[in-house]
Chains A and B, each alone.
Chain A
Amino acid sequence: MTPLEIVAMVLLTVGGVFCVIGAVGLVRMPDFYTRMHAASVIETLGAGLVLVGLMLLAGFTLASAKLVILGALIFFASPTATHALAKAAHESGLEPATGGEREKGPE
């Protein structure tokens, strides 16, 4: 294995570990809103590190360019989807479990 391949393997493994952590968080978190925070670990560090690892393996090729496009898609689409979910839950009246704390004003 070349040093580059070793770095790629490490990135893929660490990215996979973050995906597992996100999945564990999805199960452990108490309510809908907190579970979304766990899921966002998967789509940021998890997916991000796996994509960078794959780019290192693919080298300077068209496959890497497609991986960059894939990353851009996740970068723009995942917060939009998360926001749509959160807003839908909020509009339908799902109260977040806030541990007794009330809404705070700015500052």
Chain B
Amino acid sequence: MRKVSAAVSLFVFWILLSGYFTPFLLTAGAVSAILVVAFARRLELVDPEGHPVDFSGSALVYWPWLFKEIAKSAWDVSKIIVDPKLPISPVLVRVRSTQASAVGRVTYANSITLTPGTVTILAGRGEFLVHALTAEGAASLAEGDMDRRVTRFEGAR
């Protein structure tokens, strides 16, 4: 099933990038998609990490929330930048990560980095080292709301 879904995604990607609908190019795209999946299978790349289609459903719940958080904190960082006093209070914090899988930890670490004002420096098992632009940003991250949401995202497959 995962192989079929990987081949279909690759074929759709081919069509979107080419934009030609002649029989020859459609066939070439289909053959390429199947060959790539065949090679990837030999390399054992078609697994939950290489093609994490299982997360599509929970991504639809998690991503809108993440986009809202990104917009909010980008606005906060912009206000700090244009403030003549430049009110920053940079801190290093260790935050707990409760994700069980590598995909979950990467999602949490990337979410932290994607949110302006916080950057994951070290992503270990169970604990991340995070650099925050303001002490408030570090405190709201330490509350663990994002951590809980990513763990739910990872669990709700």
A28 CA to B81 CA, complexed, in Å? 7
A44 CA to B127 CA, complexed, in Å? 25
Asked whether, in the complex, the Cβ of A86 is within 8 Å of the Cβ of B131, the reply is yes
Which B residues from 69 to 126 make CB contacts under 8 A with A? Answer: 70-71, 74-75, 77-78, 80-82, 86, 88-96, 109-111, 113-123
Interface presence of A59 (CB below 8 A): no
Chain A residue at minimum C-beta to C-beta distance from B111: A79
Q: Find chain B residues with CB under 8 A from A6 CB.
A: none
Partner of A82, one of B74, B95, B117, B119: B119
Q: Find chain A residues with CB under 8 A from B115 CB.
A: 40, 44
A101 CA to B89 CA, complexed, in Å? 9
Q: Find chain A residues with CB under 8 A from B123 CB.
A: 83
Partner of B116, one of A30, A44, A69: A44
Which A residues from 30 to 88 make CB contacts under 8 A with B? Answer: 30-31, 33-34, 36-38, 40-41, 44-45, 48, 62, 65-66, 69, 75-76, 78-80, 82-83, 86-87
Q: Find chain B residues with CB under 8 A from A66 CB.
A: 16-17
Which size bracket describes the interface of B in this complex?
Answer: 35 or more
* Least distance between B134 CB and chain A CB atoms (Å): 9
Asked whether, in the complex, the Cβ of A104 is within 8 Å of the Cβ of B16, the reply is no
Asked whether, in the complex, the Cβ of B131 is within 8 Å of the Cβ of A45, the reply is no
Asked whether, in the complex, the Cβ of A98 is within 8 Å of the Cβ of B81, the reply is no
Interface presence of B31 (CB below 8 A): no
Binding site for B on A (CB under 8 A): 18, 21-22, 24-25, 28-31, 33-34, 36-38, 40-41, 44-45, 48, 62, 65-66, 69, 75-76, 78-80, 82-83, 86-87, 90, 96-99, 101, 103-107
What are 26 sample pairs from A and B whose C-beta atoms fall under 8 A apart?
Answer: A21-B81, A24-B82, A30-B88, A31-B90, A33-B119, A34-B90, A34-B133, A37-B77, A38-B77, A40-B74, A40-B77, A40-B115, A41-B77, A41-B78, A41-B116, A44-B74, A44-B116, A79-B110, A79-B114, A83-B120, A83-B123, A99-B91, A101-B135, A104-B142, A105-B94, A106-B142
10 extra A-B contacts, CB within 8 A, seeds A96-B131, A98-B92, A104-B93: A21-B81, A37-B117, A40-B114, A41-B77, A66-B16, A83-B109, A86-B121, A87-B122, A99-B89, A101-B89
